Structure 1
Amino acid sequence: MKITSKDLAKVIVFQNATEDDLQLILKNSIIRSIEEGGFFFFQGDLANYFYILTSGQTKLMQSNPNGQQVNLRTIYPWQMFGALGAVRKEATYPATAQALENSSALAIESSFLHKMLETRPQIVFDLMTLMTTYIQEMQSRYRELATERVEQRVANALLRLAAQVGIRSEKETIIELSFSRQDVAEMTGTTLYTVSRLLSDWERKGVIETGRERIRILKPHDLVRISDGIEK
């Protein structure tokens, strides 16, 4: 797969970069390919590189000392991840990046991006925009954990996935999930048993239809009502 400057411009942080900047980034990048279940980096490693996913899907997960995991975010093609080292020297990755399917990414030295940020304010502002989006999403998820019932949290997680990667038609929204129900559980701060129970209940009610690593939302408005706490 040949990566072009047009491809790189799809990345939010580089959407206002010049053609010369995009070519320079490509010149200083290498392709890393990871098989399903493999890792781009581990939590606590030095953040010497940042990545731009070019194919596949990758999850960012964080573990506590007891080994409990939380799924922080799912990364899709042309999204940047692991960029903390470009902002702070000697930073470590706060999360582990695991490929949910065979995935490839551009790997770029964090120190290279750091130097670019010193002289290119348009990239700085776009990076700030991306970070603000992440902060707002984390705030929403924290509020959900603190104030909402588990069925609301799971419904909200599915609606977020629908907004990010759902394939829509006039009558339904299809979400192709390439991660497990355990990932949904980690994403919502609950258990695999609870997620499975809720999905089975919603399937009986005709709200969704499930398959192997797939969820078809048949009644999006009903799922929104569940997320708002209007329906149990």
Structure 2
Amino acid sequence: MAGPRAPDPAVLHGMRLFAGLEAADLAEVIRFAQTRRVAKGATAFKQGDPADTCHALIDGRIKMVQTGADGQQVVVRFIGPGETFGTVATFSGVSFPVDAVAMADCVEVTWTNAAMTDLMQRHPRIALNALGIVGARLQEVQNRLREVSTERVERRVAHALLRLVRQAGRRVEGGVEISFPLTRQDVAEMTGTTLHTVSRILSAWEAQGLVESSRQQVMIRQPHRLVAIAEDMPAPDDESA
């Protein structure tokens, strides 16, 4: 049975997994793909599902959430347009370790494991790029584990917000806004702490003029001061603060 029509190869431009491929190669890659829409609140895949597909996000935002045996949830990562996800589990031959939850209406492209393996054999550059992605994700996990193990919670929250600024920061009047809905519960689940603790920290930072947060939006008003907290440095002088 034929799947949905494949998208234009241009959607793959800028994706790290396909960096270095020529236009003809990208056209071949996209012929093996299928397009799928994922409605807000639905999942692209669920924790425990067989990891039999590779995914790339074209539009929207995906939240990767892992649930422990005790029901405790951890936000592992946010995925934005142009990023691949689910690839580590796919290449490892295990089940998906997280739920991939759509935070908005999303469009993704997917490849079966067999199709991606075939493409890697014909285009070794894809396999090399995949190794780079896996290495970067592993480094990110190691950094977060170190933060949870050794840093006080204020530093962990600062690091988490700065990571999101690098990933999805948008300059606006008065600061840098994280350009997708972000709740205090999300921040708590990213940093291994409680909603109460995150609310206390963000409220204190708001009073100091460092951040501004609403129900689902966070803006960093003084990024340099947030960096100082993350790196455990003395607060910089800022006459404009």
Calculate the TM-score normalised by the size of structure 2. Answer: 0.89
Structure 2 residue 26 is matched with structure 1 residue 25? no
Among 63, 66, 79, which residue is 1:62 paired with? 66
Deviations 1:92-122 (A, max 9, x none): 1121101111111112112110122223221
Among 117, 138, 146, which residue is 2:120 paired with? 117
**Contact 2:35–2:110 at 8 Å: present in 1 too?**
yes
Among 130, 143, 162, which residue is 1:159 paired with? 162
The 3 A distance-change label for structure 1 pair 2 and 29 is closer
Amino acid at match of 1:209: E
Deviations 1:173-220 (A, max 9, x none): 222341322111111101111111111110001111112321111111
Among 184, 189, 196, which residue is 1:186 paired with? 189
Among 222, 228, 232, which residue is 2:231 paired with? 228
CA distance in 1, matches of 2:173, 2:129: 33
Amino acid at match of 2:138: I
- Matched pairs, number: 231
**Contact 1:60–1:75 at 8 Å: present in 2 too?**
yes
The 3 A distance-change label for structure 1 pair 157 and 139 is same
Q: Give 1:143's aligned residue.
A: 146
Query: After superposition, where does 1:71-82 map in structure 2 within 5 Å?
Result: 71-82=75-86
Percent identity between the two aligned chains:
35
Runs in 1 of length 4+ with deviation above 6 angstroms? none
**Contact 1:173–1:217 at 8 Å: present in 2 too?**
yes
CA distance in 2, matches of 1:84, 1:166: 25
Structure 2, unpaired ranges of 5+: 236-241
Q: Which moved more, 1:73-82 or 1:106-115?
A: 106-115
Q: Give 2:239's aligned residue.
A: none
Aligned-CA RMSD value: 2.0
Amino acid at match of 1:176: S
**Contact 1:61–1:70 at 8 Å: present in 2 too?**
yes
Amino acid at match of 2:67: S
Deviations 1:128-180 (A, max 9, x none): 11111111111111110011000100000000111111113696322234132
Structure 1, unpaired ranges of 5+: none
Structure 2 residue 43 is matched with structure 1 residue 34? no
Q: CA deviation at 1:20?
A: 2.6
**Contact 1:83–1:110 at 8 Å: present in 2 too?**
no
**Contact 1:84–1:92 at 8 Å: present in 2 too?**
no
Q: Give 1:16's aligned residue.
A: 20
Among 126, 129, 139, which residue is 2:129 paired with? 126
CA distance in 1, matches of 2:6, 2:210: 41
SS of alignment partner, residue 26 of structure 2 = helix
Deviations 1:26-74 (A, max 9, x none): 2222221111111111111111111111111001111111111111100
Q: CA deviation at 1:84?
A: 3.7
Among 207, 210, 235, which residue is 1:204 paired with? 207
The 3 A distance-change label for structure 1 pair 175 and 88 is closer
CA distance in 1, matches of 2:151, 2:88: 31
CA distance in 1, matches of 2:125, 2:133: 13
CA distance in 2, matches of 1:155, 1:143: 14
